[in-house]
Structure 1
Amino acid sequence: MDKKTQEFYERLKTELDEANVWPAEYLFKFIVPTDKQKIDTVENAFNGMGAVIHTTQSKTGKFTSVSVNVRMESSQSIIDKYIEVSTVEGIISL
C-alpha cells in the first residue's frame, strides 16, 4: 500500500472513531463496472454479515452502484473491507 493510501485510511479511521460508537451501522458505497463476477466479488465480501445490499445499474449500463448497509465492529473492520474489495478491477469506493 502506498503512503498516500495509508494516510487516507489513517485519516478515515480517526474520523470513523470520532463519529461512531462501536459496533455501528455503516453504509459502504461502491461503483463497479457492470460485470457479474465483479459485482459478485463485492457482494461476497459481505456474506454472512447480515448485510443489506442494493445494486443499481447506471443509465448507460456500463457501471453498477453497490450499496452495502451492515453492522461493523470497529473502524478497522471497515478499513479492512475497503482494502479487501479494492482488488476488484475498476472499483471506485465512495
Structure 2
Amino acid sequence: MDNLESEKGGKNPEEFYASLKEKLEGTHNFPEDYLYKFIITNEEAKITEIYRAFDDVKFTLTTRDSKNGKYTSISISAFVLDADQVIRIYKEVGKIPGVIML
C-alpha cells in the first residue's frame, strides 16, 4: 500500500476509509496478520504512542533507525479480525503528529 496520506488526495476521510475498507476486504482473508508500516522521528514518546494503538492486539514488531538516526521505521505485524479493526488502528495512529503511514 502506498503512503496513506498521499492516497487520501482530495477525498474526505469518510470516503477514503470506505474505499480502504473495500480494498482490504477484497484483498485480505480476515482474520489474519496484517502488516503496518510507519516512519516517525526518533522520539521515544511518539514510538510509545504508536505501541498504545496496538494495546489490545497480538503483534510482533521490528524497528530500524535511519542512517543518521533521525528517523525510525516501525513494522508491526498484528493479528486483526477484520478491515474495521485495521482502519481503527490506522485512525488511532493517524492522531499522532508526524507519523508517516505507509
Give the TM-score normalised by structure 1: 0.89
Unmatched runs of 5 consecutive residues or more in structure 1: none
Give the TM-score normalised by structure 2: 0.83
Q: Deviations over 1:42-85 (max 9, x none)?
A: 01221342200111111121111111001101101000000001
Q: Name the residue aligned to 1:56.
A: 64
Q: Deviations over 1:14-57 (max 9, x none)?
A: 01001122211100000111100000110122134220011111
Give aligned-pair identity as a percent: 34
Unmatched runs of 5 consecutive residues or more in structure 2: 1-9
- Which of these residues, 95, 99, 102, is aligned with residue 91 of structure 1? 99
Count of aligned residue pairs for this structure pair: 93
Query: Is residue 66 of structure 1 aligned with residue 74 of structure 2?
Result: yes
Q: Name the residue aligned to 1:37.
A: 45
Cα distance between partner residues in 2 of 1:11 and 1:48: 25
Q: Which runs of 4+ in 1 moved over 4 A?
A: none
* Correspondences of 1:4-15 after superposition (within 5 Å): 4-15=12-23
Q: Name the residue aligned to 2:89.
A: 81
